[in-house]
Structure 1
Amino acid sequence: MSEQQLGLTEAVSMALGGMIGGGIYAVMGVVAGITTYATWAAFVLAGVVALAAGYSYNALNRLSDSPGGSVTFVQCFTGNTTLAGMTGWTLLFGYIGSMAMYAFAFGEFAVAFGAIPTDIAGVPARPLLSVLAVAGFVGLNVLGARTTGTVENILVAAKVAILLAFGVLGLVYAFGAGGGIRSGASQLTGFGPVVAAAISFVAFQGWQLLFYDQDSIADPVETIRTAVYVAIPVAIVVYLLVGVVTVNLVPQALQSHPHVALKDAASLMARPYGLAALGGTVLSLSALFSTGSAINATLFSAAHFAKGMLSDDLLPDRIGSSDADGAPPRLVVLLGVVTAAFTAVGGLGAITSFASLSFIVVFGAMSYLAFRHRDQGSIHPVPPLVGVVGTVGFFPLMLWNLSRREPNTFYMVVVIAVLVVAVELLYFERETIAREVERFENEIPVGESSG
């Protein structure tokens, strides 16, 4: 293996870093608000569907003519450039939603420290801090900053260790205090856990970033395959533990200030040792670091993903040059501006739903492609079918939940989706449209055109 290439350990770290970077801090309050004590079931269900999608990605990667991710797979197995481009645009919107979600959580935890006033010069601190965080990481990416594989190993290990310690100590505290653990079994018969699973789906999206950087991974097909199958189950375990502990220890905090409820849970479990303040501080610092690094990593990956789309003429040349050394600065700034707008004016539930919808569509499409090609390369039909059924079930439930809880946001999402699809079709079918217009104009007699 070349010294410049990443091995299995680094690949697992990248996949875990993409999932456990900031997702758990951002979605926990939203998910728990829907399904309370059955939060664990939502994460397990979302993780199973993500694992099925991971199987589909690995199968397509093994059969594909060239290394790549979703866009490459669509182009390779359908030959439809328009569908490939629309898939890429959908993913970009998903990445923007993810970054906005991380930035929202970053601002919430920063304000939760209490050292910063809730208003700064008449401007609410949370959106201001969120926008500043995005701006800071845009600056870093424009300058070309990137975390190395070794550092990523250390950072991910620290994040996972803190959350695992949080979960284990929380269980010890819950049973030691005599209250035990409520499983929410009575809620498993309703739609709540499924709706919550759909919303939490965005927390399981980071692993697919491995497929866009295969040139830097040793034995990429096999290494990525193993990394995906290791990282997703680990993420499920972490989310399950954190979810069970949080909803059992601080259910009232999930009602009053759900976005930072993990901080209250950490303080509570450390109180018997006289370390309540330290516990809350460590968890908050971990959240700030995790959400910040998630913004940075996602922006870096999204910008390089978009650069590849520029090379394939799937994005307008005006937003950046595919010949740039690294990510085109204009492209990075554009992604940052749109992210900042989302995180400044959107609610966390709406942003999370928007991002999850994007990944549900793409992961479902990849699962369908794998199922359609199940006769090739020993693809077992069950995992792709689970991915298709799961995402097809998640999508309408997401829309239903959004329309019921945030109707104004629902209408906005629908309008944006229609506009985006229209712009995509106009862009990718522009040559066909131009030919048809020219043909129509040529068929009109000169006399009629002046008459």
Structure 2
Amino acid sequence: MSDNVSDRTQGDGPVLRRSIGTTQLALYALGSMVGSGIYGLIGKAAGEAGSAVWLSFVVALCAALLTSLSYASLGSRYPRAGGAAYVTGRAFRLPIVSFIIGLALVASGLTSIATQSKIFATILADIAGLEQLSPTFIAIGFLLILGGIVFRGIRESMWVNVVCTLMEVGGLLLVIASGISYWGSVDYFQTPPERADTAFGVIVLQASVLTFFAFIGFEDAINVAEECKDPERTIPRGLIIATFTAALLYIAVAVTAVSVVPWHELATTSSPLTEVMRRSAPGIPPGIMTFIALFSVANTALVNYVTASRLIYGMSGQGLLPNHFGRLHAKQRTPHIAVLALLAVSLLLVIAGGIADLAAATVLLLLVVFIAVNASLVTLKRRADEKPGQFEIPVILPLAGIAVCTGLLLTRLASSDWRAPALAGALIALILALYAVLRMGKSDVR
């Protein structure tokens, strides 16, 4: 173990339980990436790129891999629960930057948890015939169960994650297997005819802005670093395995989807992969994809809950949040105060409703976080007194990551309506106000 482990592990109190190996971490990151997004994203991407949508996933892989490799390298250097908040703090030595980055990620996790809870409630009500129950009531019950699992321990959370991830991957493999006989039946370089005046490469690049977001989730892996066995090796291996596995699945699903359902029909259906299954395997009940989607949604919420709780725990250890957020339960060895705080805010978001615009805003903040993480690695690599990790990459890769994420951010800002950027700005303003309040009450912050 390196000397970069949190000081809390050196005391007499409880510490986070180290139980995560490479396979579990890879499944954790994969479960976060292969979430509910791909089940609806494929149709929208096909509408932009036509049958060449598979190429947009190849481009998106290259873009995502740059930042994923930066996370892997930083994870091998500094295996800390604070993740991006810790590495940006170490790189720039400005607590306010770490505070903004950390809480931006927490905000992203909270909106995802609340959104997935609502989706879960809607799907469950449809499957189980519980239309008479309020979706909000079901979502609250789901959140309470989720909070109980995360509080219970990382082993239990990981086992639930493994089951859900295998169900998600199984659903995508089922789509591929049912439609593989259709491969070769279409022109895989065909783009929408109405975009004939646009260069082929530009069409693919524009669609890759959308498909890039199917890879978001790899960043969650670094936040469970203090619960990994041999994290300096486990984190890089797990991240790389997960990213490439997701890419192979996405590309194969994209090829299958446009082979079975013409791209222009795929773009207009509300449930693209269910439609693919209906045509390629009519003997399989269409509800099977809905059932798998239930596991996918639950897994996305679980991973975001674990990640957000570890971020809060790590930020407390950095002195960015009050020290009681860094307390661990003596028996379960989980950050129970952070878990309960997240549960309370998630319940409020679910009850309050309307969080779609907030979710869109946090996507913009995620790109800002990726830029900051890549810049952190560049800064740390150039600092003479920083020890290298066990997984090092050339400085050109994080620099390229900065360029790609900046391009994606600008493209996203240009294509979005004003509400998402305005909300993103409001969130940053709120985070800054909270930072000012905590600074004024220094005695309450470690």
Which TM-score band applies after superposition, normalised by the shorter structure? 0.7 to 0.9
Q: 2:60 — aligned with what?
A: 46
Which structure's residues are more often helix, by fraction?
1
Given that 1:104 and 1:130 are in contact with CA atoms closer than 8 Å, whether structure 2 keeps it comes out as yes
Q: 2:363 — aligned with what?
A: 356
1:137 to 120, 143, 146: 146
Given that 1:353 and 1:398 are in contact with CA atoms closer than 8 Å, whether structure 2 keeps it comes out as no
The reply to whether residue 206 of structure 1 matches residue 217 of structure 2 is yes
Q: State the alpha-carbon separation in 2 of the partners of residues 33 and 341 from structure 1.
A: 34
Q: State the alpha-carbon separation in 2 of the partners of residues 394 and 338 from structure 1.
A: 32
Match of 2:281, SS state, is helix
1:400 to 407, 410, 414: 414
Q: State the alpha-carbon separation in 2 of the partners of residues 220 and 62 from structure 1.
A: 7
Match of 1:340, SS state, is helix
Q: 1:162 — aligned with what?
A: 171
Matches within 5 A, 1:103-142: 103=117, 105-106=119-120, 109-110=123-124, 115=129, 133-134=142-143, 136-138=145-147, 140-141=149-150
Query: 1:253 and 1:293, CA in 2 relative to 1: closer, same or farther beyond 3 A?
Result: farther
Aligned length: 408
Q: State the alpha-carbon separation in 2 of the partners of residues 44 and 103 from structure 1.
A: 31
The one-letter amino acid of 1:384's match is P
Query: 1:75 and 1:101, CA in 2 relative to 1: closer, same or farther beyond 3 A?
Result: same
Aligned-pair distance for 1:190? 6.6
1:332 to 333, 336, 342: 342
Given that 1:91 and 1:359 are in contact with CA atoms closer than 8 Å, whether structure 2 keeps it comes out as yes
Given that 1:93 and 1:358 are in contact with CA atoms closer than 8 Å, whether structure 2 keeps it comes out as no
Q: State the alpha-carbon separation in 2 of the partners of residues 249 and 387 from structure 1.
A: 35
Given that 1:201 and 1:360 are in contact with CA atoms closer than 8 Å, whether structure 2 keeps it comes out as no
Query: 1:431 and 1:112, CA in 2 relative to 1: closer, same or farther beyond 3 A?
Result: closer
The reply to whether residue 171 of structure 1 matches residue 157 of structure 2 is no
Given that 1:134 and 1:339 are in contact with CA atoms closer than 8 Å, whether structure 2 keeps it comes out as no
Q: 2:376 — aligned with what?
A: 369
The reply to whether residue 93 of structure 1 matches residue 113 of structure 2 is no
Q: State the alpha-carbon separation in 1 of the partners of residues 265 and 119 from structure 2.
A: 16
The reply to whether residue 57 of structure 1 matches residue 71 of structure 2 is yes
Given that 1:14 and 1:210 are in contact with CA atoms closer than 8 Å, whether structure 2 keeps it comes out as yes
2:327 to 302, 323, 330: 323
Aligned-pair distance for 1:268? 1.5
Q: State the alpha-carbon separation in 2 of the partners of residues 144 and 222 from structure 1.
A: 23
Q: State the alpha-carbon separation in 1 of the partners of residues 56 and 118 from structure 2.
A: 22
Q: State the alpha-carbon separation in 2 of the partners of residues 334 and 299 from structure 1.
A: 12
Q: 1:312 — aligned with what?
A: 318
1:372-416 deviation line (CA, Å, top 9, x unaligned): 34446464022212211110001011112212xxx4x33652553
Query: 1:419 and 1:149, CA in 2 relative to 1: closer, same or farther beyond 3 A?
Result: closer
Aligned-pair distance for 1:42? 3.3
Q: State the alpha-carbon separation in 2 of the partners of residues 351 and 240 from structure 1.
A: 30
The one-letter amino acid of 1:323's match is R
Q: State the alpha-carbon separation in 2 of the partners of residues 102 and 44 from structure 1.
A: 27
Aligned-pair distance for 1:221? 0.8
RMSD: 3.6
Structure of larger gyration radius: 1
Q: 1:9 — aligned with what?
A: 23
The reply to whether residue 243 of structure 1 matches residue 254 of structure 2 is yes
Given that 1:15 and 1:227 are in contact with CA atoms closer than 8 Å, whether structure 2 keeps it comes out as yes
Q: State the alpha-carbon separation in 1 of the partners of residues 73 and 421 from structure 2.
A: 37
1:386 to 400, 405, 409: 400
Structure 2 residues not aligned, in runs of 5+: 2-16
Q: State the alpha-carbon separation in 2 of the partners of residues 154 and 387 from structure 1.
A: 32
The reply to whether residue 293 of structure 1 matches residue 304 of structure 2 is no
1:401-450 deviation line (CA, Å, top 9, x unaligned): 212xxx4x336525533533542553465479xxxxxxxxxxxxxxxxxx
Query: 1:42 and 1:231, CA in 2 relative to 1: closer, same or farther beyond 3 A?
Result: same
Aligned-pair distance for 1:91? 0.8
Aligned-pair distance for 1:84? 0.8
Aligned-pair distance for 1:261? 2.1
Given that 1:43 and 1:236 are in contact with CA atoms closer than 8 Å, whether structure 2 keeps it comes out as yes
Aligned-pair distance for 1:92? 0.9
Query: 1:30 and 1:413, CA in 2 relative to 1: closer, same or farther beyond 3 A?
Result: farther
Question: Which piece of structure 1 moves more, 238-247 or 221-230?
Answer: 238-247
Given that 2:99 and 2:435 are in contact with CA atoms closer than 8 Å, whether structure 1 keeps it comes out as no
